[in-house]
Amino acid sequence: MKKTRPVNLDLSTIHFPLTAIASILHRISGVIVFLSTGLLLWLLGLSLASPEGFLQASKVMDNFIFKFILWGILSALAYHTFSGIRHMMMDCDLLGVTLRAGKLSAQISLLISMLFSILSGVFIW
């Protein structure tokens, strides 16, 4: 059997729908949250170890680069949380199974996570 299906390897010509982008971002944010847990636990352990450790953790958190990293972690956590709520509502059939409902819920979860990202940036700085 000869397969003559066209193969498109140029990723710049592929246009993903919003629902696919939201799903891919949910997976990426989950990986970011998982990997950043170690950093946050290390910082918590350092701050609870001794008064000197607390001062050292405070010094680390005053660094601009660490504040930027922390903002990224909180933004990923916010997106992952709201997108996860969206996925659970879809699984429980609370949003409907239409394409319109999927697009609307993806837009709403992106908007809410952007607002929380802005608020977390204001809180950090």
Q: How many domains does the chain fold into? A: 1
Report whether 15 belongs to an annotated binding site. Answer: no
Does any domain span residue 112? yes
CATH code (residue 81): 1.20.1300.10
Query: What is the Cα–Cα distance from 61 to 69, expressed in whole angstroms?
Result: 10
**59 lies in which domain range?**
27-124
Question: Does the residue 21 lie in any domain?
Answer: no
Q: What is the pLDDT of residues 51-88, one digit of tens each?
A: 999 999 999 999 999 999 999 999 999 999 999 999 99
Residue 8, domain member (yes or no): no
Q: Is residue 46 part of a domain?
A: yes
Residue 2 has a pLDDT of 66
Residue-level pLDDT at 122: 96
Rg of the chain over Cα atoms, rounded to whole angstroms, equals 20
Q: What is the mean pLDDT of residues 1-29?
A: 83
- pLDDT over threshold 70, residue 1: no
Instruction: Give mean pLDDT, residues 2-6.
Output: 72
